[in-house]
């Protein structure tokens, strides 16, 4: 499992974040699913079937996150199974992948119900016995949410039919379709419905491609002044930022850290500029003396430098005659330094 996969599973497995995510996708941000009403389920999906040789085939898949949600809404109580699949990259067959997870979840419910009936021997008809399922038995609905944690725009399929080629329109009513429930940061238009720090993660992912927009977001949203450590770590990993995290701090001021990082970058750039200028200056001085046929020892004496400092520059300059281009000599020296 990659670092991104591990981080995403651990991050969204938190009940508060999981509930926040589900409420925004399923209920438009209304706080309907509560963290305390979520219960972990086994993420392993196993489906068995008979192969052509009449031998049992077992297929096993591991979901990222799978929880049982007890929902009290509009005066009624509901139970639903919710799975979250995290994608750090665009998955071009995601409808088939998610559909397979859902089918396996429903298949397991039927299998467990059939086992219960066989154990209790309570089926009333031969049809029920063969089905392993009675007219009164009910399935728990399964919802799979795909969370895209990339910074590009999602251009993958959103439903099974997006993966088809040309299809006779008269056949379409007979072909079952499957739609994915996708959350893609670049498509979020309103972040106010989020109640946890996943808001900050998605805002950064939405604007990671544009440093000016990122700066604007960090300056205008005071929530970035207090971001939990796990979210900053997730932002660094998925958005490719390098926000400094003090080992002793659990809450980070991202606005301040971002500004400090920018200032350090400017200072580093100035230092590198000064170093480049000084380096090119000595190259230029050595070239002038080389053109006067002075030796390495003589140039070192004139410039009050050690011969081992002058020699590599002297050799590089010699290879560039008669033009003695200072920038090209510098590039050659840098290349030789990397090869050394």
* Interatomic CA distance for residues 336 and 331, integer angstroms: 9
| Average pLDDT score, the chain | 85
Tell me how crowded residue 250 is: count the other CB atoms within 10 A of its CB: 9
Q: What is the mean pLDDT of residues 96-102?
A: 94
Check: CB of residue 227 under 8 Å from CB of residue 254: yes
Per mean pLDDT, which of 42-51, 52-61, 235-244, 275-284 is the most reliable?
235-244
Burial 147-180 (b: 16+ CB within 10 A, else e): bbbbbeebebbeebeeeeeeeeeeeeeeeeebeb
pLDDT of 18 reads 95
What angle do the packed helices 3-13 and 229-239 form, to 10 degrees? 140
pLDDT at 132 over 70: yes
pLDDT of 210 reads 81
**182 compared with 277, residue with greater pLDDT:** 182
pLDDT at 47 over 60: no
Q: Mean pLDDT lowest for which of 116-120, 196-200, 243-247, 305-309? A: 243-247
pLDDT of 29 reads 93
**223 compared with 122, residue with greater pLDDT:** 122
**223 compared with 163, residue with greater pLDDT:** 163
pLDDT at 328 over 60: yes
Q: What is the mean pLDDT of residues 45-74?
A: 67
| DSSP for residue 69 | E
Looking only at the bridges linking them, the beta strands covering 181-183 and 142-148 are parallel
pLDDT tens-digit series, residues 266-317: 444 455 556 667 788 888 888 888 888 889 998 888 888 888 889 989 988 8
Check: CB of residue 188 under 8 Å from CB of residue 206: yes
pLDDT tens-digit series, residues 153-178: 999 999 999 999 999 999 999 999 99
In 164-240, which ranges are E strands? 181-183, 227-228
Residues 6+ apart with CB under 8 A from 22: 33, 69, 82, 145
Q: What is the mean pLDDT of residues 183-194?
A: 93
């Amino acid at each position: 499992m990659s670092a991104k996969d591990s981080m995403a599973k651990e991050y969204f497995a938190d009940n508060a974040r999981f509930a926040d995510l589900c409420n925004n996708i399923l209920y438009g941000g209304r706080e309907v699913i509560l963290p305390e009403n979520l219960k972990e389920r086994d993420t392993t999906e196993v489906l068995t079937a008979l192969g052509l040789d009449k031998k049992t085939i077992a297929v096993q898949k591991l979901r990222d996150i799978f929880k049982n949600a007890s929902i009290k809404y509009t005066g009624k109580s509901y139970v639903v199974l919710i799975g979250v699949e995290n994608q750090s990259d665009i998955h071009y067959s995601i409808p088939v992948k998610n559909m397979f997870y859902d089918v396996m979840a429903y298949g397991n419910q039927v299998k467990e119900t059939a086992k219960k009936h066989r154990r209790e021997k309570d089926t009333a008809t031969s049809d029920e016995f063969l089905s392993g399922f009675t007219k009164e038995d009910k399935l728990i609905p399964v919802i799979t949410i795909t969370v895209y944690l990339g910074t590009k725009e999602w251009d993958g399929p959103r439903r099974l039919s997006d993966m088809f080629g040309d299809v006779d329109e008269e056949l379409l009513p007979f072909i079952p379709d499957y739609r994915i429930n996708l959350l893609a940061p670049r498509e979020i238009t309103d972040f106010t419905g989020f109640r946890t720090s996943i808001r900050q993660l998605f805002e950064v992912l939405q604007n990671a491609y544009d440093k000016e927009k990122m700066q604007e977001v960090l300056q205008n949203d005071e929530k970035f002044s207090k971001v939990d450590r796990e979210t900053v770590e997730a932002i660094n990993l998925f958005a490719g930022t390098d926000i400094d995290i003090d080992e002793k701090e659990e809450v980070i001021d991202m606005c301040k850290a971002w500004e400090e990082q920018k200032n350090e970058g400017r200072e580093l750039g100035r230092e590198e500029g000064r170093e480049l200028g000084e380096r090119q200056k000595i190259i230029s001085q050595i070239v002038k003396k080389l053109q006067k046929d002075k030796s390495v020892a003589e140039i070192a004496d004139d410039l009050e430098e050690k011969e081992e400092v002058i020699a590599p520059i002297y050799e590089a300059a010699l290879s560039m005659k008669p033009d003695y281009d200072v920038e090209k000599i510098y590039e050659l020296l840098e290349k030789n330094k990397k090869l050394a």
